[in-house]
Every structure is written in C-alpha cells, then in structure tokens.
A and B are shown apart, each in its own frame.
Chain A
Amino acid sequence: MSFPWAREYNPSNGFTRFLDEKLPLPRLMYNAVGAGYPVPRNLSYFWNFGVLAGFFLVVQIVTGVVLAMHYAANAQVAFATTEHIMRDVNWGWLMRYAHANGASFFFIVVYLHIFRGFFYSSYKAPREMIWLLGVTIFLLMMATAFMGYVLPWGQMSFWGAKVITGLFGAIPLVGEPIQVWLLGGFAPDNAALNRFFSLHFLLPFVIAGVVILHIWALHIPGSSNPTGVEIKTESDTVPFHPYYTAKDGFGLGVALLLFFAMVFFLPNALGHPDNYIEANPLSTPAHIVPEWYFWPFYAILRAFTVDFLFVPAKLMGVIAMFASILLWFFLPWLDKSPVRSGHYRPLFRKIFWFGLIPAMIVLFICGGAPAEEPYVMLSQIATAYYFLHFLVILPIVSSVEKPEPLPYSITEAVLGSDKKAVLGENTTPAV
C-alpha cells in the first residue's frame, strides 16, 4: 500500500524514462525501499533485524556458492575436501568460517527478529500473512542449516543426520519407510550426504523467494512500530531513504564488527569440537548435541521420557518439538488483545519477561546439556510452561488484561503532544 503522501518516483534522465516505460524496476525499488516508502518515525533498534537477516542470507548464499566450488559431496572425501578448503584454497579458511559463523549470526538476528514480533505483537491484524510467511522462512532455515551441518561429514554431522532423520522414524506405520527414503539407505551414507548437498543448495533460493513474499506482505500494511498505533498522518512517518537506510546501515556496521570479531578471533567458539573428528558409523560421541540454535527445540524433544496414553514417549517428543514451532502459525488468533505493543500491556509484559523468556533460556541451557538430572526435569517444566504460555496463559491474559492508555498517534508518542508535533512538522516539505 502506499500512503497518499508517499513521494512519487520521477525519472530524471532519458535512460530512466526509457526504463520507466518499458520495465519500471527503478520505480519498484523507489517505492519499496527508497524515498517512496513512508515508515513510522519511531522505530527502535529492534527494527534493524529484518535487514540484518536479509544481509546474512546474502552472506550465506555467496560464501555457500564459493564453498561448493571446492567441496565434494562424497562420504569418502567430504571431510578431506573441507580440510582442503581450510588449508589450500585461497582464502578458503575465511569462506568456511564466514559460512559457519554466518549461520549462527543468521539465527541470532532471526531470533531477535522473532522475539521483537512476540513483544510488539507484530503478528496481529493486519500483519498475519507477514508472520505466517516468517514462520515458514524459519522452518526452511532450520532445514537448510541442518543439512549444511551434515556436509563436512564429521562425527556431529553423521550422528545429527541419524538422529534428525530418526525423528521421522517415530511416525507410526509410515515412519520407517520415510526415514529410509530420506536417507536413501538404512543409515546415513553416501546417498544421504549427496542429496543433502543438493537440497542445501536449493533451499536458500526457496528462502529468498519466500523472503520476497515476506517483504511484499510487509509493504501492504507497512511496518509496525513500538507503540503499536497505526500510522495516521504524514507526521507519523519519514521516508525509508535516507532515514532508515542510514539507521540500518549503522546497525549493519555494528553487526559486521561482531561477526568478524567472531570469524577472525573465535571462529570455533559456536561450533562443536567433535565435528573435527571424521564420521564414524560405529561409535557415537559421548555427548552429542545439535548446533546451539536448535537447543531449545531439542530440549523439548528430550523432555518427553514417559509414554502418554497410547503415544510412545519417542513420538510424543517429536510431536511436541514440531508443535512448538507450528504453534506460532496460530499466534495471531491466540492473542486476542486489540492492543499490539507490549509497552501498554502490563500483564502481557509480566508473562513475557518472567514467563516466556526464562522458559526459553532454561530450554536453551537444557538443550545443550547432557540428558541427565536436573536438566531433564528442568526441561520438562520449561516445556510445560512453553505450551501453557501460548495455548492458555496468553489467550487468558489477552482477554482479561486492562491495557494502559495508548498515545493518540505515533507523533504524540515521540513528541509528547499533537500540537507540538504539528509545529515540529512544519519544516518538512510537503511533496
């Protein structure tokens, strides 16, 4: 959608006029991320993570294509070609560490992006479709990252592949045939490695496609903002360019400083040392864990240790793990409160900061810890809270809570009163 005060694209020379008539790509860009896209003036730094996620997707695609020029997806040589990249390929170490740490940074910014959405209810009408596409992207990201981690064919790669495909084996009747179909055999081997390589190459382009839909869906209602109050007048907005291109640029600079600090000085801090041991189908490492960004969901999987009615514990864990994310698809309809921003929702704020966040931290810690007490019990409690939070507590809170008074407009929230705001906006040229 375009606000009536959005600046209009004006082709300035013969070439852009020619393009504008034949294929108006510059006009599309101008209206999407240029000066033609008005954005709430009060976005905080929490609104930087979408652009950062897009940036890390590009980092992954570029370094990934480069790595695929030197990597061979064959169980005999996969581990060796990875070391070949590290030792012999020009700048190969940089490409590999940037790709491996890039995955971690991709997940860091996406988690912050998601929890921004949770707190400010960015999933609420009219932004449900943006949210649904976002959850789809997250699921695709997890599948892509999983298959990427298998490629070096280290111990964690192999046993991760075995355990994650084993999840499908838990499905009654069709489970085992599905697992054999996924692996192309009875245990991870060449066939599995080969197809994971192919799909790891394909899925990022699917992600890029869904990202385009995600951005398209965003541009229909426009960005949400920290007050949750919708845009009313021109004074509530500033053009995306140069205001938010500059702010996103600054955020990108900070993210790059942190990213390269990791790549250059702590490249293996987020990885697992066992993946520097070549895959051994006859011996499982004593403490096998997935990559850190899967830990909360892995903890939910492991929290189910006893059979429930007719459902075996193994299947329960698998259902719970998938449900913990699929649940997010229903979030726009579970949270009924008409108020979007957590800033004006006293009860919601409490369950967010003292309920959901601690539960996620406990799940994160338990997912990385061995499957022993007290971690099993802790992850059971946190898992129970996690589901209660979304399915029971959040719907109840959203219907009984008395929200705090909202500002009349975004401008009022920024400048204190509408009168001052109007005076303040006189300097902005009306275009």
Chain B
Amino acid sequence: MADTTATASNETVATTDDGIRRRDFLDIAAVGTAAVGGAAVLLPLVSQMAPSKDVLAASSTEVDVSAIEPGQAIKAVFRKQPLFVRRLTPAEVQAANAAPVSSLRDPETLEERTKEGHADMLVTMGVCTHLGCVPLGAAEGEVKGEFGGYFCPCHGSHYDTAGRIRKGPAPTNLEVPEYEFTSDTVIQVG
C-alpha cells in the first residue's frame, strides 16, 4: 500500500498533462546520444573505402596527337582508364553527320562532341557506358561494329564513327572528357 502511494505521488510530480514523464526525456536523450555515437563510429568505417587522397590526386594528362593519321586512333591513359583519340576520315565524318540525330538513343551531333576547328578529332573515354569494358575498334584490325565506330565485346554494344551508342545494352554515348587543345597538336585532358 505504501508503495502504491509513493509511486502515485512520484507520478503526480513528474507527469505532465498528456502522460509524458520528465524521465522519458532522459531515455530519448540517452538513446539519441548512443545513436549519434554509433553513426560517428560507422562513418569512418564506411568512408575509408572511398577513393584515398593519392587516387583523387590523379592529374590531367597531355596527349600529342600529331602522329595520328586520318582513320587511325590511339589509346592513352587518363585516370587509369583508356582514352581514345581518333582522327576521322572525311567518309567517317560524313557517316556521323548523315545519321538523323533525333533517332539516336543519346542524341548528340558530331559537332557537339568535338572542338571547333577540329571536327575530325574525336576524343572519348574508351569505357563502354554499359558496364565499363574497353570497346574494340581503336587498334588496327579490330572489329569496329555495325556502325564503323567501336564494338564492345562484353555485351555487344555498337558505337558509330562519332562514338555514339547505336545498338546494344549501353545507355549513353562514349563519354567525351573535359579537354582542350593547348596547341595544334597537343591536347590536355582533365
């Protein structure tokens, strides 16, 4: 009986009108602090897997494109991934411009994908936009696919002479990285 009275009187003291005790705030504060502490432990454990400083420090790359003849392409390395630099032949430029842009999966003209005054110099990442394989077609004698550009052997994506996706599972055109001509024969990527 004495117990009941004590409890009852405690409650009268600590309970507000809507039945919440002041003590409930302690519970929320304690659990909340533990949750924040847990998240603070989790953050570095997750974040350590993100690219480290040396990987992020990957600098820009300069490529000398003077030796590339029309119809040839070279593979360079940019941020540990292949970079295709290709000098298109007039026929390839014509084929790229002949394709009706609106019918493409990822509509872009050849002009939008090259620099002014260098409409025949196509610079793209050599990374298939599907799952990241290196498409064939840059080196001599490799299959260029049904559209005369690149063909990805992994899952059969076909790119045209402007590196645009025309057939297969890849969703977008080969990425054109940020680059500029530092002189007539040298490009700086990144």
Contacts and interface: CB of A to CB of B under 8 A. Distances in A.
Interface string A131-165: 00000000000000000000000000001001100
B50 A317 contact: no
Interface string A303-323: 011010000111001000000
Nearest to B105: A307
A283 interface: yes
- Category for how many chain A residues contact B: 35 or more
Given A184-B55, A305-B169, A314-B171, A371 B133 contact: no
Given A186-B81, A314-B171, A180 B155 contact: no
B128 to A, nearest CB: 8
7 contacts: A166-B131, A181-B46, A185-B55, A186-B80, A187-B132, A189-B80, A195-B49
B52 interface: yes
A284 interface: yes
Contact of B134 (A169, A189, A284, A312): A284
B146 to A, nearest CB: 12
Q: Is chain B's interface secondary structure helix, strand, loop, or mixed overall?
A: loop
Interface in B55-86: 55, 58, 75, 77, 79-82
A304 B168 CA distance: 9
A167 interface: yes
Contacts of A313: 169, 171
Interface stretch (A285-293, A329-337, A392-400, A408-416): A285-293
B136 A181 contact: no
B153 A287 contact: yes
A305 B171 CA distance: 10
A163 B133 contact: yes
A408 B27 CA distance: 58
Contacts of A376: 156
B126 interface: yes
A288 B134 CA distance: 11
A54 interface: no
Interface of B: 46, 49-52, 55, 58, 75, 77, 79-82, 126, 130-136, 152-156, 168-171
Given A185-B80, A186-B80, A317-B169, A371 B154 contact: yes
Given A184-B50, A186-B79, A314-B130, 12 more contacts: A163-B131, A180-B50, A181-B49, A187-B132, A189-B80, A281-B81, A282-B75, A286-B153, A288-B154, A305-B169, A370-B156, A372-B156
A185 B51 contact: yes
B136 A182 contact: no
Contacts of A302: 155, 169
A287 B156 CA distance: 10
A376 B156 CA distance: 10
A284 B49 contact: no
Contacts, number: 93
Interface in A171-225: 180-182, 184-187, 189, 191, 195
Contacts of A305: 168-169
Contact of A180 (B51, B75, B152): B51
A162 B132 contact: yes
A342 B155 CA distance: 38
A284 B143 CA distance: 13
Contacts of B50: 180-181, 184
Contacts of B131: 162-163, 166-167, 169, 314
7 tightest CB-CB pairs across the interface, nearest first?
A: A166-B131, A371-B156, A284-B133, A163-B131, A284-B134, A166-B132, A312-B171
A312 B156 CA distance: 16
B175 to A, nearest CB: 12
Nearest to A164: B131
Contacts of A282: 75, 77, 82, 126, 134
A371 B52 CA distance: 36
A162 B126 CA distance: 13
A189 B132 CA distance: 14
Interface in A211-251: none
Given A163-B154, A282-B75, A284-B154, A314 B132 contact: no
Nearest to B126: A282
Contacts of B52: 184, 191
A175 B72 CA distance: 34
Contacts of B51: 180, 184-186, 191
A425 B78 CA distance: 77
Nearest to A376: B156
A286 B168 CA distance: 16
A61 to B, nearest CB: 25
A284 B9 CA distance: 78
A121 to B, nearest CB: 36
A288 B50 CA distance: 27
Nearest to B55: A185
B138 to A, nearest CB: 9
Given A166-B130, A187-B80, A282-B77, A371 B155 contact: yes
A281 B153 CA distance: 15
Contacts of A281: 77, 80-82
A281 B76 CA distance: 11
B136 A286 contact: yes
